[in-house]
Amino acid sequence: MSTDNDTRRLRGFRSFLPDHVWAALVQRGVRKHHHAGDRLLHQGDPGGWVLLSLSGRLKVVYAEPDGREILLAVRGPGDVLGEFSARDGRPRSGTVQAIEPGITAKLSDKRFGELIQHFGLIERLHVYIMAKMRESAPHAWQLAHHTTAARLSALLQTLISAAGPDHPHPTTIAMSQEELASALGLARSAITPVLATWKSTGLIRTARGKLQVLDRAALNNMVMSSSGQNGR
């Protein structure tokens, strides 16, 4: 499970590459700044480009036509976004939305593919994509079988780990209680008592539109001890 050291490690596709190769990929792209709440990729849209995440955490969500959403993944600095459509030519399978302000580098599918070929990164990209796909199994299990507290704990751990090595405040999550609940496919009322208990015991601090984890070790222990429980 995640530790505090995770926030200081290179992550994502960047962790598979020498620094100069990652820098070369970024330099070939167009840098774009985004704000919290901005949608960078839209579910159902055609592809055509990929994004390299340079700073700021992002969430990948799947939405039903009635507007209900559920979190598929959390991404951050070092990740590549939109590469599925670049490989199979199909529409975007989810929406990528910024959790906080950040920066991405945008490359066309064609340019990205040329660079992957030029630097001999095909196998590394394949391993990275497979690693992302493997995340879906434990995520699905947590949603189906873990308690609400364990699911919320795991989500916060994932968000902290996605911050990357240069984030000034990795344990501060710029998501409201409504957004956290929606990410788990729950109503806000389902997580309110859990957060209230954590707050009273000094595990977290809450403010309008954000949450700060004060004791990550205790949060980690809660995930470990609850991982075998069923129900909500």
Of the listed ranges 8-22, 103-117, 144-158, the least confidently predicted one is: 144-158
Packed helices 188-200 and 148-161: angle between N→C axes, nearest 10 degrees:
80
pLDDT in tens, 149-158: 989 998 999 9
Mean pLDDT of 23-42: 96
- Kindly report the CATH number that applies to the domain delimited by 138-226: 1.10.10.10
Strand order in the sheet with 58-63: 39-41, 95-98, 58-63, 69-75
Of the listed ranges 4-8, 78-82, 110-114, 153-157, the least confidently predicted one is: 4-8
Domain residue ranges in the chain: 4-136, 138-226
pTM of the model: 0.88
Q: What's the fold here for domain 4-136?
A: Jelly Rolls (2.60.120)
Say whether pLDDT at 100 is over 60. yes
Going through the chain in order, the beta strands assigned E by DSSP cover 30-34, 39-41, 49-55, 58-63, 69-75, 80-81, 95-98, 102-108, 172-173, 204-207, 210-213
Distance CA 229, CA 15 (A): 33
Strand order in the sheet with 49-55: 30-34, 102-108, 49-55, 80-81
